């Protein structure tokens, strides 16, 4: 008899290996990748692995209880540089590929990240967080005790703020350190600081001849008020900086062509504010002339898939072909992502696309093959070789867990919205499903709103199905994957068409699946999905339980407390606080608190700077004062990323609270 698999458990979250960042070696027969896991101390760690492409199991290369990541082969393939937290914070390390111990390269006080080799292997460029007068040639890494003492001292000192952009959810309150580019001369073992501007610099690429450094930054005088990100070239010999873009947009993922004559990048000029689709551009290095290659497609370039089991960076493109006649990149379309190619005339075609999630790739120009990272709803991740239109599996990640647990294969559905447009969604059947049984139901709503649910592994969704719920998740208007008009359709109209799209999806499910219990409907979502959960319970009583996560309830206060509020409010709602406070109040779920009859659980991280916890506090106090059925769960130290990269124990506690609330009321 076949083995009866058990239901997925909350704790299985800590058993999943999350792969990322495949990198093909110069010898073309090996590639490196990163595997992130949760260790026995309930902390994240990541290790480097190498695998022969034509056979053999992956071989683990790092074993320290630390985060090892960003492996990059030297051009001759004899060395591998990577970043590791084994000394206490992220520094650069190098290891011979023929064996031997890793050696620490950097001892910077604030660490070093994202190393890249010059094409001749003579130097590395990396990013370091530096103060204005820091000397990169005289850096000393602090001991654990010294770092702790400095942290305790800083906690006693006031924070002086004089900038509009003074905090971010990823980094907390900003200080006087900036991300600067540093060059390491391999032969001389010396460091040279390449950028000095009072702004953060993003490394993009090194020209093939090694003379130019491509970076992105906002160097405008009014940078504190502008959200632009320009591309620049730094000449290493003359130190001259050339600006490639015009200060009106945001550009990144930029790479020199093999000859160095051209530069490809993603970018846009905010035609639809934050809902603007990326374009694929090519610049002529000599003339600075720019050509758009993506005008023939109405698709988001890059990977915008929503999930909770991805960790670490992976290349999304654009990547040049060796012949310099094509560019390769990931595109997001109708709930899937695939590998695409564009020629220099703007003709775009699919290389690989299936009912799954391509989350990264590495390109081998010699034989025109790729290593693809792929996730499906029932398999968190694996690497494959794509060669001559054939896909060959290379890894067997999470095999033991997948042999043990039962996962639900989603059923794709198409809903007709009130205005006649089509909405894509997916339905998960509960564990041990039986046709003649009635099941409770949970609607999940993604954040963004400009993001995309789709065919990827999502532990939270699978967990709810394992707990016995029918799970529905959809891409209402405002989502990526369906073109520019669709992703822009919710702006200045929150709580209207997007709300009716979701309600139409619920109606569709109830009409077409008679195993759903109409009297046991639940709803949950995070960020924008939390806003929408709050909006829903203030506008209908059809749900018997709701969980709002890292949500927005009051756009008036959000404007001033969120790290993005001062621009996001105008981008998405059309008005800033002083423009039309009455309109912002109309968009605020808090206004409709008296209508709420649905038992509501509020889940929020205390260090969330994107949707600050005062949003959860306002909602809780208002509903509690009105004697509504409400509870509030606060997560100390957790930011907006709690559900995706937060402390593993906190993530488990969060899921237990969500499941417990639905179990109590559904």
> pLDDT by residue (tens digit) across 323-350?
999 999 999 999 999 999 999 999 999 9
- Nearby residues of 495 by Cβ (< 8 Å), 6 or more positions away: 532, 535, 539, 587, 589
Closest CA to 400 of 429, 374, 371, 380: 380
- Reported as a single tens digit per residue, the pLDDT across 577-593 is 999 999 999 999 999 99
pLDDT digit string (tens) for 344-389?
999 999 999 999 999 999 999 999 999 999 999 999 999 999 999 9
Mean pLDDT score, 602-625: 98
The Cα 285–Cα 25 span in angstroms is: 28
Task: Say if 356 falls within a structural domain.
Answer: no
Render pLDDT for 15-31 as a digit per residue (tens, 0 to 9): 999 999 999 999 889 99
At a CB cut-off of 8 Å and minimum separation 6, what does 323 contact? 365
Q: Which of 320, 420, 309 shows the shortest CA–CA distance to 364?
A: 320
Please report which helix (H) or strand (E) contains residue 20, including its range.
strand 18-24
Is residue 268 a contact partner of residue 246, using CB atoms and an 8 Å limit?
Answer: no
| Alpha carbons 203 and 126: distance in angstroms, whole number | 7
CA dihedral defined by 243, 246, 247, 251, rounded to 10 degrees?
-80
Q: What pLDDT, on the 0 to 100 scale, is given for residue 137?
A: 94
Confidence label for 178 from pLDDT (cuts 50, 70 and 90): very high
What confidence score (pLDDT) does residue 1 get? 60
Q: Which of 70, 201, 429, 640 is catalytic?
A: 640
End-to-end CA distance of the chain: 35
Q: For residues 6-22, give the mean pLDDT.
A: 98
- Residue 39, number of CB atoms within 10 A of its CB: 12
- Cβ–Cβ < 8 Å for 352, 386: yes
Cis peptide before 541 (omega within 30 of 0): no
Angle between helical axes of 459-466 and 648-665 (0-180°, round to 10): 40
CA 59 from centre of chain: 27
Q: Where are the alpha helices (DSSP H) in 327-458?
A: 399-404
Residue 395 has pLDDT above 90, yes or no: yes
Contact 277, 300 (CB under 8 A): yes
Residue holding tokens 């200080």?
A: 175
Q: Looking at 146, 168, 196, which one is the last position of a domain?
A: 196
Phi, psi of 300 (to 5 degrees): -75, 125
**Residue that has been written with the tokens 């000859």 in this structure:** 259
Is residue 305 within 8 Å of residue 333, measured between CB atoms? no
Q: Where are the alpha helices (DSSP H) in 223-343?
A: none
CATH number at residue 472: 3.40.50.1820
- 230 in a domain, yes or no? no
Percent of the chain clearing pLDDT 90 (strictly above):
96
Angstrom distances, CA of residue 639 to CA of 168, 274, 603, 609, 610: 10, 22, 12, 7, 8
pLDDT of residue 28: 83
Average of pLDDT values for 156-185? 93
**Structural contact between residues 70 and 90, judged by C-beta atoms closer than 8 angstroms:** no
CA distances from 577 to 151, 574, 582 (A): 36, 10, 9
Assigned domain for 508 exists:
yes
- The whole-number average pLDDT for the span 170-186 is 94
> Phi, psi at residue 579, to the nearest 5°?
-70, -50
138 part of a folded domain: yes
Which of 88-92, 166-170, 211-215 bottoms out in mean pLDDT, i.e. has the lowest?
Answer: 166-170
Neighbour count for residue 345 (Cβ, 10 Å): 10
**Domain span at 104:** 18-196
**Is the preceding peptide bond at 449 cis, omega within 30 degrees of 0?**
yes
Q: Give the per-residue pLDDT at 27.
A: 86
Question: How confident is the model over 513-571, as pLDDT tens digits?
Answer: 999 999 999 999 999 999 999 999 999 999 999 999 999 999 999 999 999 999 999 99
Q: Is the pLDDT of residue 2 over 80?
A: no
What's the pTM? 0.97
CA distance 389 to 274: 36
CA distance 250 to 281: 12
Torsion, Cα 252 380 423 412, to 10 degrees, reads 150
In the chain, the number of structural domains is 2
| SS3 category, 158 | coil
| Any domain includes 410 | yes
- Whether 256 maps to a domain, the answer reads no
Beta bridge partners of residue 406, listed in sequence order: 7
At residue 130's C-alpha, the angle toward residues 126 and 135, to 5°, is: 90
Percent of the chain with pLDDT over 70: 100
Return the residue matching tokens 């950028």: 195
Rounded Cα distance, 587 and 538, in Å? 12
**Tokens 């604030």 map to which residue?**
110
The answer to whether 640 is a known catalytic residue is yes
Question: Which of 181, 196, 211 is where one domain is finished?
Answer: 196
For residues 35 and 434, is the Cβ–Cβ distance under 8 A? no
Domain assignment present for residue 4? The answer is no
Confirm whether 334 is a catalytic residue. Answer: no
Scan for tokens 């005062």, then name that residue.
614
DSSP helix/strand/coil, 80 = strand
Q: Which pLDDT band, with edges at 50, 70 and 90, does 222 fall under? A: confident
Mean pLDDT of the chain: 96
Cα(472)–Cα(242) distance, rounded to whole angstroms? Answer: 50
The active-site residue, picked from 527, 557, 562, 588, is 527
User: Which two three-digit tokens encode residue 25?
Assistant: 């070696």
Residue 102 has a CB neighbour count (10 Å cut-off) of 19
The residue among 156, 180, 196 that closes a domain is 196
Span 224-250, mean pLDDT? 95
In CATH, what number is assigned to the domain containing residue 38? Answer: 2.140.10.30
Does the residue 266 lie in any domain? no
Count CB-CB contacts under 10 A for residue 150.
12
- Could you give the maximum distance between any two Cα atoms of the chain, in Å? 76
112: enclosing H helix or E strand:
strand 112-117
Length of the chain: 666
Whose tokens are 């022969």? That residue is 52
Is residue 88 exposed (0-12), middle (13-18) or buried (19+ Cβ within 10 Å)? middle
Instruction: Give strand pairing partners of 146.
Output: none
Q: What pLDDT was estimated at residue 221?
A: 86
């Amino acid at each position: 008899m076949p083995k009866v698999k058990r239901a997925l458990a909350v704790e299985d979250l800590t058993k999943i290996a999350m792969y990322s960042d495949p990198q093909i070696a110069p010898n073309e027969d090996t590639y490196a990748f990163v595997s992130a896991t949760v260790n026995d101390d309930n902390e994240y760690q990541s290790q480097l692995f190498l695998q022969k492409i034509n056979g053999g199991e992956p071989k683990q290369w790092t074993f320290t209880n630390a985060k090892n990541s960003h492996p990059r082969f030297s051009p001759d393939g004899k060395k591998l540089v990577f970043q590791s937290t084994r000394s206490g914070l992220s520094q650069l390390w190098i290891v011979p590929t023929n064996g031997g111990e890793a050696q620490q390269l950097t001892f910077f006080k604030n660490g070093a990240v994202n190393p890249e080799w010059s094409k001749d292997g003579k130097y590395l460029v990396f990013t370091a967080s530096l103060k204005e007068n820091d000397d990169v040639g005289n850096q000393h890494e602090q001991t654990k005790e010294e770092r702790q003492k400095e942290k305790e001292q800083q906690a006693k000192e006031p924070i002086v703020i004089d900038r509009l952009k003074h905090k971010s959810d990823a980094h907390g309150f900003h200080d006087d350190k900036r991300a600067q580019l540093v060059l390491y001369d391999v032969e001389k073992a010396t460091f040279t600081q390449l950028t000095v501007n009072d702004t953060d610099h993003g490394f993009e690429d090194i020209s093939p001849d090694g003379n130019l450094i491509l970076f992105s930054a906002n160097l405008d005088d009014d940078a504190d008020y502008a959200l632009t990100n320009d591309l620049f070239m730094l000449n290493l010999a003359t130190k001259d900086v050339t600006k490639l873009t015009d200060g009106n947009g945001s550009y990144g993922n930029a790479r020199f062509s093999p000859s160095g004559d051209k530069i490809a990048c993603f970018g846009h000029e905010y035609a639809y504010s934050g809902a603007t689709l990326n374009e694929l551009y090519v610049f002529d290095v000599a003339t600075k002339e720019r050509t758009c290659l993506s005008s023939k497609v109405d698709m988001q370039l890059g990977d915008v898939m929503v999930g909770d089991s991805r960790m670490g960076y992976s290349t999304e493109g654009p990547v040049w072909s060796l012949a310099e006649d094509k560019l390769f990149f990931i595109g997001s379309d109708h709930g899937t992502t695939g590998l695409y190619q564009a020629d220099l005339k703007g003709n775009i075609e699919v290389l690989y696309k299936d009912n799954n999630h391509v989350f990264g790739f590495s390109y081998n120009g010699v034989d025109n093959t790729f290593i693809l990272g792929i996730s499906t709803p029932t398999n968190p991740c694996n690497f494959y070789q794509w060669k001559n239109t054939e896909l060959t599996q290379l890894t067997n990640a999470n095999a033991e867990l997948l042999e043990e647990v039962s996962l639900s294969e989603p059923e794709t559905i198409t809903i007709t919205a009130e205005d006649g447009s089509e909405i894509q969604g997916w339905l998960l059947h509960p564990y041990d499903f039986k046709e003649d049984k009635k099941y409770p139901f949970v609607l999940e709503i993604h954040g963004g709103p400009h993001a995309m649910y789709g065919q990827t592994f999502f532990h939270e969704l699978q967990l709810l199905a394992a707990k016995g719920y029918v799970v529905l998740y959809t891409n209402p208007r405002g989502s990526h994957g369906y073109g520019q008009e669709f992703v822009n359709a919710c702006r200045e109209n929150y709580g209207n068409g997007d709300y009716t799209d979701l309600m139409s999806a619920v109606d569709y499910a109830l009409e077409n699946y008679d195993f759903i219990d109409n009297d046991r409907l639940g709803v949950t979502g995070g960020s924008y999905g939390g806003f929408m959960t709050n909006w829903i319970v203030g506008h209908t009583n059809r749900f018997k339980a709701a969980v709002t996560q890292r949500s927005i309830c009051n756009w008036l206060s959000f404007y001033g407390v969120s790290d993005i509020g001062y621009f996001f409010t105008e981008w998405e709602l059309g008005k800033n606080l002083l423009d039309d406070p009455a309109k912002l109040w109309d968009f605020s779920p808090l206004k409709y608190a008296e209508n709420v009859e649905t038992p509501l659980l509020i889940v929020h991280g205390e260090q969330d700077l994107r949707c600050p916890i005062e949003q959860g506090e306002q909602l809780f106090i208002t509903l509690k004062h009105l004697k509504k059925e409400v509870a509030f769960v606060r997560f100390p130290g957790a930011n907006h990323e709690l559900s995706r990269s937060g402390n593993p124990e906190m993530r488990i506690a969060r899921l237990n609270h969500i499941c417990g609330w639905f179990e109590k009321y559904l």
